[in-house]
Structure 1
Amino acid sequence: MTSTNLAARTLTDLVLRRESRLTRLPWTGHRPGTWEPEPLRWLGVRGLYVAYRWADRHEAGGRARTSPIATVADLIARRP
């Protein structure tokens, strides 16, 4: 209830163009970052799943070290 009350009072001040403490809150006027276009994001995620699956099969075949496929997938996924 508290957040609903706060949001309603803030929205009232914004609609009436009143300058108040509520209209200066950090979340008022916040612009979210851009998102990737959905088909490209989905293809990227699916591609990484396939790459990790291949890397698992590669490593299950008796490799003593991390598969190069997994190394490249980690770089793409920005994993440490």
Structure 2
Amino acid sequence: MLYDNHNTLINDCFLEVNPSFETQTGITQVKGKTAREIDLNNEAGFLENYNRVAVMGESIHFPSLSGVQEKYK
């Protein structure tokens, strides 16, 4: 998770990606890239939802990726 000087979430960087991520999203080769680089920021609330899962350990459903899958097939 990447935060600004005010501790506001501004992006996230994929340090590791498991096969389930690729299977569920259809997006490959994201290791080392940020959500904004692969257009995940276009999905309303993606970073906030991802933060809830990654930092707080909540289990939530991500409804869609707004067509970003097509870009990475």
TM over 0.5: no
Higher relative contact order (CA 8 A, sep 6+): 2
Q: Taking structure 2 as the reference length, what is the TM-score of the superposition?
A: 0.24
* Structure possessing the higher radius of gyration over alpha carbons: 1
| Bigger proportion of residues as helix | 1
